Amino acid sequence: MICPRCGRPQPPPDSPGAPRAGATRYCVHCGRVLAGVRWVALPPDALRPREPRVTRRPYAGPPRYAVTPRWSLRSWMPAPEPGDEGPLPSSPPREPEEVLRGTAALLGRLAMTTAVLAGIAALAEMWRYGLLVASRSEALSSGPLAFSDALVTLVGLLAPVAALATGALFLRWLLLARRIAATISGTRPARRDWAVVLGSVLPGPNLTVPGAALTEVEHAASGRPTDERPRPSRPVRQWWAAWAASVVLGVVAVLRGLGDSTQALADAVLLHALADVAAAVAALVTIRVVTDLTELLAPALRPAGREAVLAVGAVSAPAEDRVAAGGGRSRGVGTEVG
């Protein structure tokens, strides 16, 4: 046997020093393994029987039934069987006062979000205006400019969306409040619901219709005479002024931004900042007015504080002057209730 590495002949198996029969043989000169190993490559799963391939049938159209099927698309859980007392009672509808309180609570949270976003937008616009003033005398770095543009763009998209959602929810609350106020006063609203919605959306009438409708709600909820002309209270007047200022400043800022001159762009930035401040103030005043009018229309009974018996005897105060703990009717927005 010749070693494939060194090419030297190997001693015969029966010579002294040769490995015994059956053992692995090595070259006596270089130590290479002389017993070769044969590798056989097999593909994967070659020894495992292959599953028969299922031939997919062609599409034959929608299913067809010889008879009307007995199944349906209802839930898998069967409907409860009526007991001895009859079917289960359905859930009672929510009271209008409860719906009004829930809408007012959601409106308060949404209006606060709008106020925060509008405040951030006003700060971003003021920062941009400061950068415009500073750029007149020196060149500015790209970092503050890029951050200012990104902040103005981001808040400029979020604030209008929040404001529109707040306005839509305010209209829903206003319509509910008008119905409850009409029920309390026993009168019919001066405007229909569609007239209030249309007047609150159209430019021009939206400066007067929401405030007038809010004044009518306050007048009816306060228990004032029906033949008396409604006059807005101080909080309603503040809301009316903030709302009108925000609308007018927003329109003026948009129109001023259509100019091509540098001064027009600078004026638009300043007007946008003022419009954002007015929008934030209007959102905060909305929270106050909505909370007070909701307390007038749908007072929530709250647990009274700690009580102590001072005397036992006849009640001196008339029954109509006593107000249940947690609610009552007052004479205007801003009066303490309860």
Q: Which residue has the tokens 């002389």?
A: 34
Distance CA 238, CA 23 (A): 107
Residue 159 lies in a domain: yes
Q: What total number of domains does the chain contain?
A: 1
Predicted confidence (pLDDT) per residue in 270-305, tens digit = 888 999 999 999 999 999 999 988 888 888 755 555
Q: Is 26 helix (H, G, I), strand (E, B) or coil?
A: strand
Residue 43 lies in a domain: no
Q: Which domain holds residue 158?
A: 110-300
Residue 236 lies in a domain: yes
Q: What percent of the chain has pLDDT over 90?
A: 18
Predicted confidence (pLDDT) per residue in 21-30, tens digit = 655 567 777 7
Give the phi and the psi of residue 99 in degrees, each rounded to 5.
Answer: -65, -40
Q: What is the pTM of this model?
A: 0.61
Q: Which two tokens stand for residue 65?
A: 């039934």
Average pLDDT of the chain is 77
The predicted structure's pLDDT at residue 322: 39
Residue 9 lies in a domain: no
Distances (CA, A) of 92 to 46, 66, 180, 290, 301: 70, 44, 19, 27, 20
Predicted confidence (pLDDT) per residue in 255-269, tens digit = 888 877 778 888 888
Alpha helices in the chain (DSSP H): 96-134, 142-185, 193-201, 209-221, 234-256, 262-297
Mean of pLDDT values over 8-22: 67
Residue 173 lies in a domain: yes
Distances (CA, A) of 63 to 40, 58, 60, 68, 194: 53, 13, 8, 12, 49
The two most distant CA atoms of the chain are separated, in Å, by 137
Distances (CA, A) of 151 to 112, 155, 170, 208, 223: 20, 6, 28, 34, 48
Residue 37 lies in a domain: no
Q: What is the separation, in whole angstroms, between the first and last Cα of the chain?
A: 115
Residue 65 lies in a domain: no
The predicted structure's pLDDT at residue 283: 93
Q: Count of CB atoms within 10 A of residue 291's CB? A: 15
Maximum mean pLDDT: which of 36-45, 56-65, 242-251:
242-251
Predicted confidence (pLDDT) per residue in 137-149, tens digit = 777 777 878 888 8
**Is 50 exceeded by the pLDDT of residue 327?**
no
The predicted structure's pLDDT at residue 325: 37
The predicted structure's pLDDT at residue 181: 86
Banded pLDDT at 19 (limits 50, 70, 90): low
Distance CA 211, CA 218 (A): 11
